[in-house]
Structure 1
Amino acid sequence: MKILFLMKPLAYVKPDKDTSVLLMQACQRLGHDIYFLPQGATSITPEGIVFDVVLIACTGDKESPFDVRQRERLHENDVAAIFIRTDPPFDDVYLHDMWVLDRLSDRVRCINSPAGIRTVNEKLWLTQFRHLIPKTWVTTSRDMLESVLAEQGQLILKPTNGFGGQSIFLLSQEDVNKHVILDTMFAKATAYVVAQEVLADAANGDKRILLCDGEPIGAVLRVHPAHDHRNNLDVGGQALATEITVIDQAIIAELKPALLSLGLRFVGIDVIGDYLIEVNVTSPTCLQELNALDGYAHEDDLVNRFLV
């Protein structure tokens, strides 16, 4: 089968970190042809959807992880599945790719559903589950946020469209850089900013739980380095073994029907203490870390399940 991976340019892939590499390797081990699909390389024609792709092979070499072969133009009838693994931000190119992929026939599996990815903003979608999340404000009003900050004393601030810990601030009322940080967050007059209460359990790390078809396959505890409040692995966080608790299971059970109805088969949720923090549907990560901690290649099971 021909399997496409819509993702960031190959030059930016980290072979010892990126989950996409494991999924590619699993497809390759199963005898499938794997192709790199760049953003903006999908077209609607009178004959159907076509893709301008590059045939690649995984080498297993960290210095040169891909053998880049020939460029091809594939028709949708030649494609069995597409793994959508593009990182945010969810910009115009990302949005248009999802709209075009929506036109595919049902015989082409998309992991995850383009419509589902469009629906679920990773910072905002979970606000419908108010009883599962910490106190959260989403606003374009700097005045509102300054009032909330004065009341709460400190807040976690995030953009709505980031990933990997980018532009996440722990802001206190007494911070000498308070106004600079708020200037940065509200640089665009129409930019929504997410503010969450600071949870005491954040000092112990946050838990990434990977889900396949709404069921947990494992979890990784991400613990921040001494010099940073962010637990993200991209900014130096450490991955540790952890358990999926009864409360985690309750959160997952509540999310599962909505995720399945949206065609979101491979998802990462982030939990701090007893609270849901984010729902990641664009390019969930931590599979490499989970494999290392479990001593098991989860990607083979995942790919078999996705392609059946």
Structure 2
Amino acid sequence: MRALQLVTNTESRFFNQQIRYLEAAGVETTTLPVPGNRHVGDGDVDGRSPLDYLRLYPTVLRHSFGDYDLIHANYGLTAPAAVAQPSLPVVVSLWGTDLMGPYGPVSAACARFADAVVVMSHEMADRLNCDSYVIPHGVDLERFAPAPADEARAELGWDPDVRHVLFPYPPERGVKDYPRAERVVEAARERLDEPVELHAVTGVPHARMPVYMNAADSLLVTSRREGSPNAVKEAMACNLPVVTTDVGDVRARLADVSPSAVETTDEDLAGALADVLAARERSNGREAAREVSVQRSNERLRAVYRTVVADGT
């Protein structure tokens, strides 16, 4: 099988992980990125102009007459170029902000013309006026695995006498709401008779993230919206407790994970975080993370590919 991949960000970790597993399974891929320089501002809105996206279409159209079995639009803003070409069946994957952010109507409209739509959560599926497959991005269980916390803290130079809270996003990404994370940690600190430090981890190679997951006492997510946050699934795979706002699919993912909490108010988030830090326990999240392993997710995506190609034939 040969798949033409459209994507806004060729540096996306989960997109590149997806491509590696698809190619290992025998799916030949060609990637076409959106032209122009990508930059993300407040709300995770892609800073490219509409003209940049229009410039993608002639390239997609030319490739669509090549020897491909399908075209896969990764992220909703690439979907118009995919559904406008006349030759190939189309799979559209919506990642979260592309459906629940300001350009959601564009993504939803294009989804109606796709041969298959993949979303990250049931919440996203409910927003669409068409059928969809719920296939969240998978987590690499070989890379993200439990390891001794004291060794991880020593490697990072973290104080072993401090409770460490991990915020896995750049503070400047407005949709992740770092100021709220600071408020929650400050309120949790006041409830505990010990120091608590908030670590906003950014610019770290993905291969190093398991060290941070194993060194921390809790993951804190204060996002305003998400699809299926990979950081939560990666924390689960490392048995790191998670305290998070009620976004995307986190409530379903953490339903059987303890200790962890899904809350809505600052007060409840702070209380849950203080309880997790005071308990000093790892979670049982790894078993639940097996449901969203990268192998399982990509097997399901390949099944969608096979269905689309068979229907097209």
Please say whether Structure 1 and Structure 2 have the same fold, judged by a TM-score greater than 0.5: no
Q: How high is the TM-score relative to the length of structure 2?
A: 0.34
Q: How high is the TM-score relative to the length of structure 1?
A: 0.34
* More helix as a share of residues: 2
* More strand as a share of residues: 1
